[in-house]
Amino acid sequence: ETGVTQTPRHLVMGMTNKKSLKCEQHLGHNAMYWYKQSAKKPLELMFVYNFKEQTENNSVPSRFSPECPNSSHLFLHLHTLQPEDSALYLCASSQDRGSGANVLTFGAGSRLTVL
């Protein structure tokens, strides 16, 4: 399988649940990203990993916890979410971080609904 794969595609959870989103890339990329996409808003960068090390955390609430066990896999652990966290969560990867022509390859996203 090629590209960036995200599971699950859809997730409904209560505010007290714990769930995880998974992202996998088979492109040999070194950088992986989590973005939040809400309707009619710009993509919000949440976390960046470069060579498995977290390099950015854009003031994301602690109820979102990322994990990058290796350069091919990225997780987003969810705990005690709020209804306003309902959104599409996109995973992306790129060859590296910090160059101009840094093209991102995105997954199709996990649509999260928090009740």
Partner 1 sequence: GQNIDQPTEMTATEGAIVQINCTYQTSGFNGLFWYQQHAGEAPTFLSYNVLDGLEEKGRFSSFLSRSKGYSYLLLKELQMKDSASYLCAVMDSNYQLIWGAGTKLIIKP
| Interface positions with partner 1 (CB under 8 A) | 4, 40-43, 45, 90, 97-109
Query: Which residues face 105 on adjacent strands?
Result: 93
Closest CA to 110 of 30, 26, 46: 46
CB of 101 to partner 1, least distance (A): 5
Closest CA to 3 of 19, 27, 23: 27
Is the Cβ of residue 17 or residue 108 nearer to partner 1 in the bound state? Answer: 108
CB of 50 to partner 1, least distance (A): 11
Is the Cβ of residue 7 or residue 80 nearer to partner 1 in the bound state? Answer: 7
108 in Cβ contact with 24 (< 8 Å): no
